[in-house]
Structure 1
Amino acid sequence: MVREILCGQLSVWQRICRTKKPVLLYGMGDGAEKIIRVLDSIGVKISGVFASDEYVRGHSFHGFEVLRYDQAIERFGDFLILVAFAVHDEPTMERIYRMAQERELYLPDVPVIGDGLFDDRYIQEHEIELEAAYRLMEDEMSRQVFEDTLRFKLSGEAEYLRRMTTPKEIVYGQLLHARAGMRYLDLGAYDGDTLREFAQYAGKPVQAEAWEPDSKNFKKLCRFVESADFPVTPRSLGSWSTQDTLRFFRKAGRNSALGEAGNVEIAVDSVDHQYPESCFDVIKMDVEGAERETLLGCRQMIARCQPALIVSCYHRNEDLFDLPLLVKKLYPGYRLFLRHHPYLPAWETNLYAVAKSCL
C-alpha cells in the first residue's frame, strides 16, 4: 500500500533543494525555527520572511525584515513559499489555499514533539508498521485520510489536507454516537475548548472531569468551569502511565509538553490510578506527545469499560501508526476511525476508537 501510494513522489525537501526560486518563510516562531534547522542541514538558505498583514510591524526575524505578502511579491516576483505556522481559522486557511494557487507553496511537516522527519527514508524504515496500522482502519474514509496524510507529510502539499477534512460535528454524531448525559474525561483540556465542543455537538455531559497540567492554561480552564452550565471537575494534573513528577516545557498557548529539558515540574498520574473503579463513556487525549503513555495508563479502564477514545495522532512522527496499533492491542474489540479536522498543517488528525457493541 505505502509504496503504491507514494510511488514517484518527491519529498518537500527534495523539491526545495531542486528549486531555482527564492525560498521565503511565511510565518515566524517555533515552526519556523524547526524548518530553518532542516533547511540548514540540507544546504538551503531562505531569501526572506513574510507574515500576514496584521502581524507586520517593522520587525525582523533571523536577520530578515518581515514583509507583507504584497511587499514580498514586489521584491521577489515569483518565489517558493514555506508555511511555518499552524492555523485553524477559516479566513487564514483560505488565504493559504489561495496562495497555493498563485505560487509554489508547501507546508513542511516537522514534528510537534521529538526529532526527525517524516520523509521517504522514514516511511521506508516503518513501512511494515504503516501497513499494519492502515489495515486496522474501519472504513473507506479512514483509509483515505491515512493515505492523504502520508501524501501530505511527504509532499507538504496543502490540497491533500483540504480534501480529507471532516467537520467535528459529523464525528460526534456518526462515529461516537455522542449524546447528552454521557460521562466525559478530557485529558489535556487547555481552556475548556473541547468540553465546550462536546456540549455543543453531543449535549451536556452528566459528569465531566478535565485534566490540564499547565498552570496558565489551568487558570483559563477554571474560568470556563465557573461559567459552564454542566458539572465539570478541573484537575491540575498531567496524564501518564504511572504516578510521578515530570519536567514540563511550558510554551505559549496549548502546546506545552513533557520533556527532559522542561522548565517546570508537574504532577502526573494514570487514569487507572485516579479512577480504579469508575467508568467514563468518552475519553479525549490531546496530551502533546504523551498519548502512548496515557493509553498505557488507561489499560484497566479500557478493558473494564471500553470507553470511546479520541486520540490525537499528530504530535510525534510515529503516532500515525504506533497509536492505532497500541489501541487495538489494548482492546481488540475497538473499531478504529481516522479523521482530519480543519487545520493546517496535519494537526487535528484524530484516531477515534469505538467498541463494536456501541455501533
Structure 2
Amino acid sequence: MEYIIYGAGGNGKAIFDAMSKQGDNVLFFIDLYSTEDSYKGVPIYKPDAVEPSETPVLVSLSCLSQVVKKQLELKGFKNCYNLNEVMTGFKYIFDAFFDDSHKQALQQSEIQFVDQLDKLHNKLANAQSKQCLERIRKFRQNPNHDTYLENDWETQYFPKELMSKGLVQAPFKMVDCGAFNGDTLQLATNITQQYDIEFDSIVCFEPDPKNYHKLMTRLRGKSGVFPRVFTQQAGVWSKNTTLSFSSCGDQSKITEDANTQSNSLQVAKIDDVCYGLAPNYIKMDVEGAEIEALKGASEIITDFKPNLAISVYHHPEHLWQIAELIEELHSEYQFYLHAHGDFCNEIVLYAIAE
C-alpha cells in the first residue's frame, strides 16, 4: 500500500518507521513547519506544494489530528485518518508506540491501585466522567489497538460541557502552571471572548528558558490583545527553593534528584506569588510535579476555592492521588475527567467548586 503522512515530527517519523518495517510505502510527508527536506530519503513538502489525491493520508499530529483531517478533506483529499483512527486501525503502528515494558507498567498500575480507582469512580460527578475513567482502566488492563484510549476532541482546559457548569467565572483570574509558549493564554483569551466573560488577569509560570522566550515573544507581538499578564520564569512546587531541571524539547521536568544533565532552577509556591490575586482558576501541566505544586497552592485552594484543571497522566497513580489531595484541601468540589490527548496523554481532572 502507498500512504502519505501529515506531520514530520516525532509521531510522524515513528509512524513512518513502523510502516517501512511492515513493507508499506510512504510517498512523502506533508508538514507546515518542518525545516527538513526529507526523512530517510522520503521528501517533506509544505501543504501548498501538494495536490489532493485519493492516496490515504495518516495525520500524526497529537490533539490536532481531527482538525487537520477536516482541513485536508476540504482541500480535496479523499482518504484521511486522524490519529485515533491510525492507532486503532493499524495494529503495527500502535505496537510501535507501546512496547511491552510500557504495557506492563500500565497493567501493573491497574492491579496495584484498583481500590483507589474504584473510589475515584465514586467521586466523579457525571456519567461522562465515569465512562472516561472506565475507558482509561480498560486500556490499562489490556493495552492494545482495540482498547486504545481515544481523544475526546473537547477543548482542553475549557471543555464545552464544563463551561456550562461554571468552569470559568467572571472576572476571570487564572494561574497557568506550565504556560509553555503561551498557547493556553491564547486559548483562554479566545474562550473568554467567545463566551463574553471578562478576563481580568493571568499569572504564567514557565521554567524552560526557550519556552519562556516564546511566551514573551507572543506577548510582545500581540500587545493590547491579552488581559493583564504576569510572567514568572520559574516552576511551581510546595516551597520556594532551587531544584534540578531538565529540558527535553517541548517538555521539561522538575525533580528534587540532582543529576549531571540537569540545570538548577528556581521554583515557587503559588500561594506566595498569587495569593493577592485571589485566582478563580488554576491550570497545571507541570510534567509530574502536580502533587507538589498543589501543596504549594493549599492556602489559595482552602481560602478561595478556585476551579482547577490538573493533568493526571504523568504518573499512573496521579489519576486518583490528585483527586484525594484536592479533596483534603477542600471538600466542596465536583470532579470531572476528560481524556483530551493521544497515547493516554492529556488526561485532565477538573474540580469545580460547588
TM-score, with length taken from structure 1: 0.71
Q: For residue 142 of structure 1, what is the aligned residue in structure 2?
A: 129
Structure 1 CA distance for aligned equivalents of residues 173 and 331 of structure 2: 23
Cα–Cα, structure 1 residues 188 and 119, in superposed 2: closer, same or farther, change >3 Å?
A: closer
Q: Cα distance, 1:233 vs. partner?
A: 0.9
Q: For residue 184 of structure 1, what is the aligned residue in structure 2?
A: 174
1:315 is paired with a residue whose SS is coil
Q: Cα distance, 1:156 vs. partner?
A: 3.8
Equivalent of 1:127 in 101, 108, 114: 114
Q: Cα distance, 1:292 vs. partner?
A: 0.5
Q: For residue 347 of structure 2, what is the aligned residue in structure 1?
A: 349
Q: Cα distance, 1:291 vs. partner?
A: 0.5
2:248 is paired with a residue whose SS is coil
Q: Cα distance, 1:308 vs. partner?
A: 0.4
Cα–Cα, structure 1 residues 319 and 186, in superposed 2: closer, same or farther, change >3 Å?
A: same
Equivalent of 2:210 in 192, 216, 228: 216
2:120 is paired with a residue whose SS is helix
Structure 2 CA distance for aligned equivalents of residues 160 and 199 of structure 1: 33
Structure 1 CA distance for aligned equivalents of residues 25 and 326 of structure 2: 42
Q: For residue 43 of structure 1, what is the aligned residue in structure 2?
A: none
Q: Could you give the per-residue CA deviations for residues 261-320 of structure 1, whole angstroms, max 9, x where no partner exists?
A: 452211001112223454101011111111000111111111111000110111122221
Structure 2 CA distance for aligned equivalents of residues 28 and 195 of structure 1: 24
Within a 5 Å distance, the mapping from 1:58-97 to structure 2 comes to: 59=39, 86-90=62-66, 91=68, 94-97=81-84
Q: What letter matches 1:333 in structure 2? A: E
Q: Could you give the per-residue CA deviations for residues 199-236 of structure 1, whole angstroms, max 9, x where no partner exists?
A: 21234521211111111111111122231332111111
Q: Cα distance, 1:29 vs. partner?
A: 4.9
Q: For residue 258 of structure 1, what is the aligned residue in structure 2?
A: 254
Q: Which runs of 5+ in 2 are unaligned?
A: 1-6, 45-58, 70-79
Q: What letter matches 2:303 in structure 1? A: R
- Give the share of equivalent positions with the same residue, in percent: 23
Structure 2 CA distance for aligned equivalents of residues 299 and 147 of structure 1: 30
1:150 is paired with a residue whose SS is helix
Cα–Cα, structure 1 residues 252 and 232, in superposed 2: closer, same or farther, change >3 Å?
A: same
For the Cα contact (< 8 Å) 1:249–1:256, is it kept in 2? yes
Cα–Cα, structure 1 residues 101 and 322, in superposed 2: closer, same or farther, change >3 Å?
A: closer
For the Cα contact (< 8 Å) 1:106–1:157, is it kept in 2? yes
For the Cα contact (< 8 Å) 1:225–1:234, is it kept in 2? no
Q: Cα distance, 1:120 vs. partner?
A: 2.5
2:203 matched to 1:225?
no
Structure 2 CA distance for aligned equivalents of residues 345 and 279 of structure 1: 35
Q: For residue 299 of structure 1, what is the aligned residue in structure 2?
A: 298
TM-score, with length taken from structure 2: 0.72
- Greater alpha carbon shift after TM alignment, 148-157 vs 278-287: 148-157
Q: For residue 197 of structure 1, what is the aligned residue in structure 2?
A: 187
Q: Could you give the per-residue CA deviations for residues 123-150 of structure 1, whole angstroms, max 9, x where no partner exists?
A: 1111111112221111111100111112
Tell me: higher relative CO, structure 1 or 2? Use CA pairs within 8 A at least 6 residues apart.
1
Structure 1 CA distance for aligned equivalents of residues 166 and 219 of structure 2: 24
2:161 matched to 1:161?
no
Cα–Cα, structure 1 residues 217 and 128, in superposed 2: closer, same or farther, change >3 Å?
A: same
Q: For residue 106 of structure 1, what is the aligned residue in structure 2?
A: 94
Q: For residue 273 of structure 1, what is the aligned residue in structure 2?
A: 272
Q: Cα distance, 1:189 vs. partner?
A: 0.6
Q: For residue 138 of structure 2, what is the aligned residue in structure 1?
A: 151
Cα–Cα, structure 1 residues 244 and 156, in superposed 2: closer, same or farther, change >3 Å?
A: farther
- Greater alpha carbon shift after TM alignment, 244-253 vs 86-95: 86-95
Compute the RMSD of aligned alpha carbons: 3.5
Structure 2 CA distance for aligned equivalents of residues 152 and 27 of structure 1: 27
Structure 2 CA distance for aligned equivalents of residues 288 and 59 of structure 1: 29
2:245 matched to 1:248?
yes
For the Cα contact (< 8 Å) 2:8–2:29, is it kept in 1? no
For the Cα contact (< 8 Å) 2:61–2:83, is it kept in 1? no
Q: Cα distance, 1:175 vs. partner?
A: 3.5
For the Cα contact (< 8 Å) 2:167–2:307, is it kept in 1? no
Structure 1 CA distance for aligned equivalents of residues 279 and 293 of structure 2: 15
Structure 2 CA distance for aligned equivalents of residues 204 and 172 of structure 1: 18
For the Cα contact (< 8 Å) 1:117–1:317, is it kept in 2? no
Q: Which runs of 5+ in 1 are unaligned?
A: 1-25, 37-45, 69-82
Q: What letter matches 1:216 in structure 2? A: K
Cα–Cα, structure 1 residues 299 and 86, in superposed 2: closer, same or farther, change >3 Å?
A: same
- Greater alpha carbon shift after TM alignment, 144-153 vs 100-109: 100-109
Q: Cα distance, 1:337 vs. partner?
A: 0.7
Q: What letter matches 2:64 in structure 1? A: H
Q: Cα distance, 1:67 vs. partner?
A: 10
Q: Cα distance, 1:195 vs. partner?
A: 1.4
Structure 1 CA distance for aligned equivalents of residues 323 and 186 of structure 2: 26
For the Cα contact (< 8 Å) 2:167–2:352, is it kept in 1? no
Q: Could you give the per-residue CA deviations for residues 170-215 of structure 1, whole angstroms, max 9, x where no partner exists?
A: 0452234414521111111111111111121234521211111111
Structure 2 CA distance for aligned equivalents of residues 117 and 351 of structure 1: 24
